[in-house]
Chain A
Amino acid sequence: MDLDTVMAEAAPRRFSPKDDMPEEYRKAATRMIQFHANSEVMGGYLEKPFIRQAPSLDRKLAFSAKVQDEIGHAQLLYRAAESLGVKSRDQMLDELAEGEGKFLNCFHYPMDSWYEVPMIAFFVDGAAMRRQATLKRASWEPYAHAMDKVCFEEGFHVKHGEDILRELMTSSKANQERTQEAFDEWWPRILQFFGPTNDKSTHHDFSAKVGLKTMTNDELRQAFLNAYIPKAEKYGLEIPDDPGLIYHEDEDRYEVVEEDLDWDQFFTVTKNASEGSERQILSRADRQEAVDWVREAMDGWERMGSTTTPQAAD
């Protein structure tokens, strides 16, 4: 299929591994899905320490279930990515360990206290879910199918995240203040979650033309703000003055003062060049290495017992 045909026929779940897709499409889809898969891994690892630090048994159970879900989502997504035939799952995991693999800005920052947990588990997950819901209509069928399962599970994550926020913001004044401090720190990063505005987005046009993305960064951020700012306010969180945010009541629309956001920092972070990036990547790489023996044992078992020729995807 040539690129013009792809653009003409692009529709939700239109293309699958049996279609002969042009290299431009396969590369763009791989880049996008690999980024998504990497983000699931890095988000899971960021939250993992809070299984131990959870303040109650209920939270511990829910948090371990959530981290397990995120790693499962990564597996689904690496499968969807490798079905494009550009990179194998091993290759993508190696790239992540070597600092080549890119992932969401929010997962490059350290998370030290329980007060920060709802920033990820409610706001970042909520933002992610907003975006993922639109990707059910992506043109690469295996990606859209993965989104069906991811979105099925994510409702628990977001509601559990909100439940933590609600609990903290209805408890002691000291807890409320610490939660507000965490919010002040995370809010600009959350605003940058959807990436640069449309005019500065490098990949949007192509991805939209071939049906990989169905909404722009600006539209997604707008929809997120409309839903989540009232929630923050409901629990008594104050929206920081900086970065500036102007509400246009007549249009029910928030305008973010772009100059107030540190896009240099954003691009440093998302190029894996920040201090936090290095720490997160290396700590995951260490843990991946620590369980190498499990993968090796399984590979050995598979080679011993297999009667069919292994496929590239395995």
Chain B
Amino acid sequence: MIWEVFRQEEPGDYHKHCGNVHAPDRDMAKMFAQIQHGRRMKTHSLWVVPQDEVGEVDDQDTAFGGTTDKAYRWATTYNRVDASFAKEVADSEAEQRAAEKKREASSQ
């Protein structure tokens, strides 16, 4: 049986997928995950999940975000106003700009 492993580095972080292990049951999966994924990388917590229990949809199955132009839902579209007056608004816009760049890079 294959178990997908998710590692959280610090308390409060997100658990991020870091690989998988073969194990006959949950306890063994937790033990193998510790050895394979929790030993060298900083680890606060690990999750193990049976691979069969993970549902997946990928970019071959669907067009994430749709196929129409959704520029209207991004802060980066509204350039007649300037976000720099409030740090939290500017931060949000910067995160959106970074996400936009990644999306554009992957569509090319």
Contact = CB atoms under 8 A, between A and B. Distances in A.
Nearest to A145: B14
B46 interface: no
A166 B81 contact: yes
A158 B86 contact: yes
Given A61-B72, A155-B92, A155-B93, A227 B86 contact: yes
B88 A133 contact: yes
A62 B81 contact: no
Interface in B15-41: none
B81 A151 contact: no
B81 A163 contact: yes
Interface string A1-20: 00000000000111010000
Interface in A37-85: 58, 61-62, 65-66, 69
B92 A129 contact: yes
Contacts of A129: 86, 88-89, 92
Contacts of A141: 11-12
Given A133-B87, A158-B89, A230-B85, A152 B95 contact: yes
B80 A155 contact: no
A65, A152, A230: residue with the most chain B Cβ atoms closer than 10 Å = A152
Contacts of B88: 129-130, 132-133, 151, 154-155
Contacts of B73: 61-62, 65-66, 69, 156
Interface of A: 12-14, 16, 58, 61-62, 65-66, 69, 126, 129-130, 132-133, 141, 144-145, 151-156, 158-160, 162-163, 166, 227-228, 230-231
Interface of B: 11-14, 70, 72-75, 77-78, 80-81, 83, 85-93, 95-96, 99
